[in-house]
Amino acid sequence: MNPRLLPALHAPDDLTTLVENRTVYSLDAFELNIFETHQTARRVPLSMGSLVLTTMLRGKKVMHLSGQAAFDYLPGESVIVGEEQLMEIDFPEATLDNPTQCLAVAIPADTIRHTVDLLNERFPLAEEHTPWHLDAHHNAHLTNTPELTGTLERLVHLSQETHAAKDVLAGFTLQELLIRLMQTNARQLIFQNYAQHLTSHRFAQVVQYIKRHFTEQITVDKLSELACMSKATFFRLFKREFGLTPVEYIIQERLAEAKRLLRNPVATVADVCFRAGFNNPAYFQTIFKKYEGITPGLYKKQCGLG
């Protein structure tokens, strides 16, 4: 989440507790909670009674969820927690000067069901056997995409508004959040584990091809052929399922490779440009700054290699 848009922390005198101090915003469509912790603690239990999307804003937690190994939970990440599922949380580093802060959006089951049914009826995905769904038990620990982060920021902003239309707008934004969340889940499932789905999901073959050939020129003709679709259908369904276009995904793969190469002390920015699949240094500079917020040269310097 953009640091400028982080919810303000409470002053110490305004806290009712130093562990998971809770601020609640209740709207017609959902309940938004902001938790902050200002001292170390272990195995703090929390259950929200409905499906919850939690998102870390500041600090570090260690999450304990049933059936999973404990894991570090850091800013820029989200965890989907199922209805009635118990969270147990460690706060190994929290202090008054270094608190943790976390969002928790409690989403009614009826809202999820209505949104999923609407999407499956009007906007089906590429594979009939993998319809839209929100699974709180598999791939529950997610790295936020920019789209998901932006939607969460709007939810926080709307929750604190006072105008009469805020509940209507919040309902639409919650539906967008659910879509972004399912797209983020789909990215993690297919982009990271494509090899497990090569025989069951046509986009897994597309992802494998892109990962193997992203430094080369890749055409939408070739990708749509792999997916056994027309170009228009392939482009539309890929964007629908993952929340980004095939071209945007190729750029992301090239940028990930560029960052890896830039960490090599002897690599020059110009050399990295071509080795990562970009054939125009000016374009590489522009696209790197657009996605990463800094130039390739500054990224290299920040890695201590410039």
pLDDT at 5: 59
> Which of 101-105, 109-113, 244-248 shows the lowest mean pLDDT across its residues?
109-113
How many angstroms separate the CA atoms of 81 and 77, rounded? Answer: 13
Q: Compute the residue count for the chain.
A: 306
What is the reported pLDDT for 138?
57
Distance CA 36, CA 57 (A): 10
Q: Do 282 and 206 belong to one domain? A: yes
| Residue 293, amino acid | G
One domain, residues 186 and 218? no
More confident residue, 83 or 120: 120
Looking at the structure, tell me whether residues 268 and 141 fall in a common domain.
no
Amino acid present at 50 = S
What pLDDT was estimated at residue 286?
A: 95
Question: Is 270 found in the same domain as 213?
Answer: yes
Residues 136 and 244 in one domain: no
Please identify, among 140, 156, 191, the residue that sits at the C-terminal boundary of a domain. 191
Residue 107 near residue 50, CB atoms below 8 Å:
yes
Whether 54 and 157 map to the same domain: the answer is yes
Domain count, the chain: 2
- Residue 85: pLDDT band (50, 70, 90) is confident
Strands 100-107 and 31-37 come out as: antiparallel
How many other CB atoms are there within 10 angstroms of residue 157's CB atom?
A: 15
Both 45 and 185 in a single domain? yes
Asked if pLDDT for residue 185 goes beyond 70, the answer is: yes
Domain enclosing residue 38, as ranges: 3-191
Among 191, 225, 242, which residue terminates a domain?
A: 191
Mean pLDDT, the chain, integer: 92
pLDDT at 78: 94
Question: Is residue 136 predicted with pLDDT exceeding 70?
Answer: no
What integer is the mean pLDDT of 63-68? 88
244, 155: one domain? no
Same domain, 211 and 169: no
What's the pTM value of the predicted model, to 2 decimals? 0.86
For helices 202-213 and 231-242, angle between their N-to-C axes, nearest 10 degrees: 90
CATH number of the domain bearing residue 299: 1.10.10.60
What does the DSSP 8-state code read for residue 124? -
Do 93 and 117 sit in the same domain of this protein? yes
Cβ atoms of residues 63 and 70 within 8 Å: yes
**CATH at 22:** 2.60.120.280
**Residues 253, 169 within the same domain:** no
Burial class of residue 146, CB neighbours in 10 A (0-12, 13-18, 19+): exposed
3-state secondary structure of 136: coil
Distance, CA of 203 to CA of 39 (rounded, Å): 46
Residue 1: pLDDT band with limits 50, 70, 90 = low
Residue where one domain finishes, among candidates 191, 213, 235: 191
- Do 76 and 120 lie in a common domain? yes
Using DSSP, state whether 201 is helix, strand or coil. Answer: coil
pLDDT in tens, 217-247: 999 999 999 999 999 999 999 999 999 999 9
